[in-house]
Structure 1
Amino acid sequence: GMFHPFVDDASVRIIGVEAAGTGETGCFNSAPLNLGTPGVLHGAYSMLLQNSDGQVEPSHSISAGLDY
């Protein structure tokens, strides 16, 4: 991605943020990346919050209808 050239540059500090994150301590923000497991949703292989049967678990989203 566009930040790749800066990853190995010690003079650059890269900070990740999430719009409308909950601000809770822990790894709940960006939950699919922090807590998810690989799976398929809508035909796309991605990191998902899912149960052992592959069913999507609820999560927080500021987007209407994207609560997964």
Structure 2
Amino acid sequence: RGSRYIGRVFVLETPLSQGAGKLSVDDTVWRITGPDLSAGTKIRVTEIDGARLVVEAAADETAEA
């Protein structure tokens, strides 16, 4: 199910701290891993690791809701 999010860009609602955080997508809250980033940062989903989405900071692209 999470594989459909690979490549999509979102905005962090809460910070990604110590490599872990959460991301709300549609009606689901996903656990995410990646570099520490502040709330409001655009992120791109790069892969799935078990039940977690792996993310990175995204270039200036349009984020999805």
- Computing the radius of gyration over CA atoms, which structure comes out larger, 1 or 2? 1
TM-score (norm 2): 0.24
Q: Quick check: which one's strand share is greater?
A: 2
What's the TM-score, normalizing by structure 1? 0.24
